[in-house]
Structure 1
Amino acid sequence: MSTTPTTAPPEGSGDPTGRLDGASKARIFTVLTVIVLFTEVAPLQYTMVSAALQKIGPAFPSAGANLTWAIIIFGLIGAAVSPLIGKMADIWGKKRMFLVCGGFFLVGCLVCATTSSWGVFLAGRAFQAIAIATAVIAYGLIRDLLPRHLVPLGIGITSTGLGFSALIAPVLGGWLVDNHSWRAIFWFLFIYTLVVFPLVWFLVPESGLRTRERLDIVGAALLAIGVGLILVYVDKGQDWGWSRPSAWLWAVAGVVLVAAFVAVERRATQPIMDMKLLFDPRVSTVLVVGLFAGFMVGVHSYTMGYLTLTPPEDATRSLVVQGTVDTVTKLTGQPVPPQAVNVTFDPGYSYGEGWSLMEYATHLAIWLGLVAMIAGALAGAWSRRVGARLPLLLALVTFVATAVLYALTPHEWVWLTLLSIPFGIAFGAYYATAPNLIIEAVPAEQQGVSAGMLGVMQSMGVAIGLAISTAFLNANPVKAVVAVGPQPPATSEINGIFADNAYELSFWLVAGTSVVALVAAYLMRHGRTPATGGSAH
């Protein structure tokens, strides 16, 4: 069956997609603004929930070491469903699926805000994760609706947002948690989405582009389940034992299903994605870059919070002394003076500011977000002039340099903030250029699923990076050696505090993976001419 798109242009449009070539600048940028505001829901929650994870933990004591699944399940489900939803958008309409994603996000916010069950909370996070696909759909809407010359800029702005997730989220999230509770985050996200939802409904036109084919349910299921099983193994492998058959069978099953997906799609008359296109160097190279660049993105977001929210060594020692005094007094009924308790750390650690979430936001996160937002727009505009490859190369060089400097410099907040500024520039440039490269490489009717595959690879990079970083941390705990008077010392691990070496290993890891991404981008043959907004197709 032909995959030629239908043409259902809005009245008065000369383009089958309904492109806003004749519209005023105010109309064009209103549409772009609303699209961007709606796509902000996913990064908004990620910024807020990641920073508040330590505050969420006490509400779910059964979660234990699995608390990071509040973040991981978002990336896992988002990665699994993004290609599927992207394909649905190609077939049934991008605006329609845009709103469907928003509806799932609203349900997830309500569930997370009201439940006291860890399992139900994770289910709510899974519903929220579907909103990751809003970025995939937004790229297609911008490609279809904006005048061609504005598409690269629009993609750059969409990739890094208008400041809500970058600037407002850290400050607002910190204020909500510090003054109310972590549940207030989900109520805010619910209200935000509820306000933006009708703006999309009434102000954003539907693209007239459709792909004339049925949804390949078998291919979609093979891809989604296969990716999901691999990501589960990556996250849980350390707890289960990487080499245990009961653990690696998850990965083997995932790889088998992904391989089956490729085999089935090669034979399918209406594949979810053209396999020749998927393995075309113009697409596959960008996917490789997305996978290895994702390591840096995931590890950076994870480590910055821990390095600054952790109490400094002296404060932790005071807490251990007081806890020991309280415990011994309760057991013996005799008061114990604090000076009788001697506490040393094995090993010691040099980081830790003991910040609140608000302090983290105002001292570090807001500056990273500001430069990322500006860099994304500039990189999109620059791609239109010189092609997306050059700004991508500069972003990846900066990833490598900042990772090395994070490993070598003192882990004090001034250094972390200074280094987060070039990282933010690179972050914005990377997320502006990668989707622009995909747009230039694929026909419009394959836009949604292709961008979805990029999302899969980026999410896998984030998940694998986090899993390896977590393994480094768990292998290098800080232990408290406590001696009370003449009694022999007792040694115990301090929950959530790890040796400097653990973080440094993580930064060296992402320096290496960023080098791999850099080499792939350097060898890239496309993206060397000005971005056209997909007009080559």
Structure 2
Amino acid sequence: MHDALTQPPASRGAAARRVPVVVVLAFAGIVVALMQTLVIPIVPMLPRLLGADASDTAWAVTATLLAAAVATPVVGRLGDMYGKRRMLLLSLVLTVAGSVFCAVSDSLVPMIVGRVLQGLAGGVIPLGISIMRDELPPEKLAGSTAVMSASLGVGAALGLPAAALIADNFDWHVLFWTSTVLGAIALVLVLVCVPESKVRTGGRFDLVGSIGLSAALVCLLLAISKGGDWGWGSGTTLGLFAAAVVLLLVWGRVELRTAEPLVDLRVSAGRQVLFTNLAALAFGFSMFAASLVMPQLMQLPEQTGYGLGKSLLAVGLVMAPQGLVMMIVAWASAPLSKARGPRVTLMAGAVVVAAGYALNTVMMSEVWHLVLVSCVIGAGVGFAYGALPSLVMSAVPVSATAAANSLNTLMRAIGNSVSSAVAGVILAHMTTPLGSTTLPSENAFKAIMGVGCGAALAALVLATFIPRQQTDTDRQAGETPAAEPSTPQDVSPRKA
């Protein structure tokens, strides 16, 4: 209270303005993350609703995934060059437009167009983190970016019960009219509350690099997401994997020779950024494993002896607390990162997630078991997602913040996709008969939990290779930990 009273009026006003900036950006992140789970309740009904084959309506999910993967690094780079707020507003406009397309659609093509537009807004969260770096004082940055980073998981967790509730009680188009309204609210709030950063790099956009990376990502993610349907040994799947490898190698060679690349591979190959991104990949895999296992486990018939026979709405209500825990823990992780460094926070998150999966192998027979486990895993992910932006931003110039955070977000998304593919293989091959059908066996779910635990432990090992940063504890003790050489001096204009 004393500090607030002794601050100059201008400082108090600036501090008051920062609160709505953080809240608005986090809300925008949650709204965009909602798009990932929005269609889950109606996926089984889409063939009937859209008059198309199930293999075709699956593109309503796949199209969003591919569009987000392509857009995230491109939008991040454009934000660094031409304005982060400008690109954030464009992303939210695409969200609203995509929602309207889906809301008025009764056939497959407009639905897929709408879902692509929604996916193109995938860069909102890294853009929000980058705006916070430009606008917030250092002492407020860690907690705020942690909340923004965690909004990806929060939106996905809260979206499922909300979407299930709407789908059960209203016409399915209401799902997308709701997302239209939420996107419009986020758009207006950003226009009113979020300032445009003065930190820009300018220069020429790397069009060749963006096309090359987009083509490689589409090949990779298409092979991962559709390989189970096409066959992992099919020519199409193997051809896409081979094309992705070739395109990435050629793209990397071109980027190293480009004066203003889409992704600065020299910075990205630095020890801190490299191992932070690899840990993000492992965490994306581990987190998504829980999102795949628990809903299926809850919906399987009780006759199996391990299924709980619950509705999709009940599944959503069980998973919703995970999102809230994730947000709270992400915000609360800032003091730990300040005292011990974000590397320690990331490692703590890996241990907690691994413990959650280990707990799940012996606690999966009651609803409260799954609520507890999902909250433990959510707490671990909150720690990790709170630490990742700090680790990235402390290793890159301020002028490359959006591009670097976008790459980290992309690594999480790739981890999600790989997790889905691996879980699909396990569930398809470890089955048990029930009447005239076969269902995933109890051991299949335990195997996925074991894989999720292993991915969290892999993230822990990867985090040990991240250089230790100087913390408040080090400064009080007069110690200076060893670190890799600092990044090139940033010469772009900074806020006063």
TM range (shorter): 0.7 to 0.9
Secondary structure of 2:121's counterpart equals helix
Partner of residue 231 from structure 1, selected from 198, 208, 221: 221
Tell me the residue number matched to 1:252.
Answer: 242
Number of equivalenced pairs:
469
Tell me the residue number matched to 1:73.
Answer: 63
CA distance in 2, matches of 1:349, 1:71: 31
| Residues 403 and 53 of structure 1: CA distance in aligned 2, closer, same or farther (over 3 Å) | farther
Q: Which one has a bigger Cα radius of gyration?
A: 1
TM-score computed with the length of structure 2 as normaliser: 0.88
Do 2:353 and 2:378's aligned partners in 1 also have CA atoms closer than 8 Å? no
The CA deviation at 1:188 is 0.7
CA distance in 2, matches of 1:528, 1:440: 11
CA deviation map 1:476-526 (0-9, x unaligned) = 344344xxxxxxxxxx435xx422222222112222222211100122214
Tell me the residue number matched to 1:112.
Answer: 102
Partner of residue 26 from structure 2, selected from 22, 26, 36: 36
| Residues 100 and 162 of structure 1: CA distance in aligned 2, closer, same or farther (over 3 Å) | closer
Secondary structure of 1:62's counterpart equals coil
Tell me the residue number matched to 1:62.
Answer: 52
Kindly indicate whether residue 184 of structure 2 is the aligned counterpart of residue 194 of structure 1.
yes
The CA deviation at 1:82 is 0.7
CA deviation map 1:261-314 (0-9, x unaligned) = 11001111111122210100111001110111111122211222222233422x
Do 2:46 and 2:54's aligned partners in 1 also have CA atoms closer than 8 Å? no
The CA deviation at 1:440 is 0.8
Partner of residue 367 from structure 1, selected from 303, 307, 321: 321
Segment drifting more, 61-70 vs 388-397 = 61-70
Secondary structure of 2:120's counterpart equals helix
Secondary structure of 1:269's counterpart equals coil
Partner of residue 167 from structure 2, selected from 177, 181, 205: 177
Secondary structure of 1:209's counterpart equals coil
Do 1:152 and 1:436's aligned partners in 2 also have CA atoms closer than 8 Å? yes
CA distance in 2, matches of 1:223, 1:407: 39
Tell me the residue number matched to 2:131.
Answer: 141
Secondary structure of 1:520's counterpart equals helix
Segment drifting more, 115-124 vs 392-401 = 115-124
Tell me the residue number matched to 2:309.
Answer: 353
Kindly provide the amino acid, as one letter, of the partner of residue 154 in structure 1: S
CA distance in 2, matches of 1:175, 1:535: 51
CA distance in 2, matches of 1:67, 1:298: 22
Do 1:37 and 1:162's aligned partners in 2 also have CA atoms closer than 8 Å? no
Segment drifting more, 72-81 vs 462-471 = 72-81
The CA deviation at 1:148 is 1.9
In structure 1, the gaps of 5 or more residues are: 1-19, 314-347, 482-491
Partner of residue 521 from structure 1, selected from 457, 463, 466: 463
Partner of residue 388 from structure 2, selected from 434, 437, 440: 434
Segment drifting more, 277-286 vs 38-47 = 38-47
Q: Say what the alpha-carbon RMSD is for the aligned residues.
A: 2.6
Matches within 5 A, 1:429-468: 429-468=383-422
Kindly indicate whether residue 340 of structure 2 is the aligned counterpart of residue 399 of structure 1.
no
Secondary structure of 2:308's counterpart equals coil
Higher relative contact order (CA closer than 8 Å, sequence separation 6+): 1
Do 1:79 and 1:455's aligned partners in 2 also have CA atoms closer than 8 Å? no
Matches within 5 A, 1:28-427: 28-50=18-40, 53-54=43-44, 56=46, 58-60=48-50, 62-64=52-54, 69-161=59-151, 165=155, 169-313=159-303, 348-357=304-313, 359-362=314-317, 364-427=318-381
Tell me the residue number matched to 1:479.
Answer: 433
Do 1:376 and 1:432's aligned partners in 2 also have CA atoms closer than 8 Å? yes
CA distance in 2, matches of 1:400, 1:256: 34
CA distance in 2, matches of 1:21, 1:35: 21
TM-score computed with the length of structure 1 as normaliser: 0.81
Secondary structure of 1:131's counterpart equals coil
CA distance in 1, matches of 2:149, 2:236: 39
The CA deviation at 1:51 is 5.0
Kindly provide the amino acid, as one letter, of the partner of residue 306 in structure 2: S
Do 1:226 and 1:253's aligned partners in 2 also have CA atoms closer than 8 Å? yes
Kindly provide the amino acid, as one letter, of the partner of residue 331 in structure 2: A
Do 2:158 and 2:316's aligned partners in 1 also have CA atoms closer than 8 Å? no
CA deviation map 1:319-370 (0-9, x unaligned) = xxxxxxxxxxxxxxxxxxxxxxxxxxxxx4511232241x3333x1232122
Tell me the residue number matched to 1:493.
Answer: 437
| Residues 211 and 147 of structure 1: CA distance in aligned 2, closer, same or farther (over 3 Å) | same
CA deviation map 1:2-27 (0-9, x unaligned) = xxxxxxxxxxxxxxxxxx96743221
Secondary structure of 1:479's counterpart equals strand
Secondary structure of 2:189's counterpart equals helix
CA distance in 2, matches of 1:65, 1:505: 27
| Residues 232 and 162 of structure 1: CA distance in aligned 2, closer, same or farther (over 3 Å) | closer
CA distance in 1, matches of 2:335, 2:419: 30
Do 1:406 and 1:507's aligned partners in 2 also have CA atoms closer than 8 Å? yes
In structure 2, the gaps of 5 or more residues are: 1-9, 476-486, 491-496
Tell me the residue number matched to 1:8.
Answer: none
